[in-house]
Amino acid sequence: MHHKSIRTLVMAGCLASAGLLALAGTALAEPASESMLSNTCAGCHGTDGVAAGPAMPSIANMDAKIMENLLMQFKSGERPSTIMGRIATGYEDAELKAIAQHFSKLPWKSTAVPTDPKLVAEGAKLHKSEKCNSCHEEDGRTQSAEDGVMRQAGQIPHYLFLQMVNYQKQEYPDVPKKMMSRLSKLSEKDLQALAHFYASQK
């Protein structure tokens, strides 16, 4: 698959990797550490990126390139959001890169938000019949930096639902046509089922 934005970022990354030092706001002080920049996210995404639910996503362990790409898209406004756009514009590109690095090193913890067994069973069927598993392998456990696919297994269910509804209603920069054509014909109930299925996969 072709993901121009990610490739560009990888190249830009080489140039920027040592660049954080240049950002120091106060002449003499060391630049803000990764944790200094990242721990501010915990008020919404939970301590170390593990959200408490019921709607905001966990972001721990997200592949650094994927997260950097999402944050850059929030910042540019390409990616629709209620609040992340306003937050991402508060950071330099190199800071967003450092933040993405930080979260990629933190362990994933699947959500404890309960799921509905009936919906889970329906979702499991849809996941296969709609061939979601061609990209979201191992029932949503895998991430692919190359394809921009993030983990869904054990994610907050209502977030997954909201995000799929968002995909149906709004333009997102990196959503593959194959996913859109499959998602667009699904009902709200189907999306609920898929959300519960992915969330139940720990």
Partner 1 sequence: MANLTRRTFIKAAGGAAAAVGLVGPARSWAAEPHVVVIGGGYGGAIAAKYLRMMSGGKIKVTMIERDESYYSCPLSNWVVAGFRDLGVQKHSWAEAAKAHGFSVIHKEAEAIDPKAKTVSLAGGEKVSYDKLIVSPGVDYKDNIEGYTKKEYEQHPHAWHAGPQTEALKKKLAAMPDGGKVIIVPPEDPFRCPPGPYERVSLIAHYLKKNKPKSKILVLDPKDKFSKQGLFAGGWKTLYGYETPNSLIEWVAGASGGKVARFDAATGTVFTEMDQHKGDVVNIIPNQKAGQIAFASNLVEGDWCPVNKQTFESTLHKDVYVIGDACNAAKMPKSGYAANSQAKVCVEAVIRSIHGKDPADASYVNTCYSMLSPDYAISVANVFKLKDGEITPINGGMSPPEATPEFRKMEAEFNESWYRSIMADMFA
The residues of the shown chain that bind ligand HEC, judged by CB under 6 A, are: 40-41, 43-45, 56-57, 59, 67, 70, 81-84, 87, 99, 130, 132, 134-136, 147-150, 152, 155, 160, 163-164, 172, 174-176, 178-179, 182-183, 194
When asked if residue 45 is in the footprint of partner 1 (CB under 8 A), the reply is yes
Q: Between 30 and 171, whose beta carbon lies closer to partner 1?
A: 30
| Residue range at the interface with partner 1 (CB under 8 A); choices 86-94, 123-131, 143-151, 194-202 | 86-94
Give helix 188-200 / helix 157-169 axis angle, nearest 10°: 140
Contacts of 51 (CB under 8 A, 6+ apart): 44, 45, 57, 58, 59, 111, 156, 159
Instruction: Please state, in angstroms and rounded to a whole number, the distance separating the CA atoms of residues 107 and 60.
Output: 6
Give the chain's largest Cα–Cα span. 59
| Residue range at the interface with partner 1 (CB under 8 A); choices 5-13, 20-28, 65-73, 125-133 | 20-28
Contacts of 66 (CB under 8 A, 6+ apart): 6, 143, 145, 148, 149, 150
Which amino acid is present at 185? K
Cβ pair 193, 122 in contact under 8 A: yes
**Residue 147 binds what, of ligand HEC, partner 1, none (CB under 5 to 8 Å, by partner type)?**
ligand HEC
Q: Between 13 and 49, whose beta carbon lies closer to partner 1?
A: 49
Cβ pair 104, 112 in contact under 8 A: no
What character string, x for contact with partner 1 (CB under 8 A) and - otherwise, covers 166-195? ------------------------------
When asked if residue 46 is in the footprint of partner 1 (CB under 8 A), the reply is yes
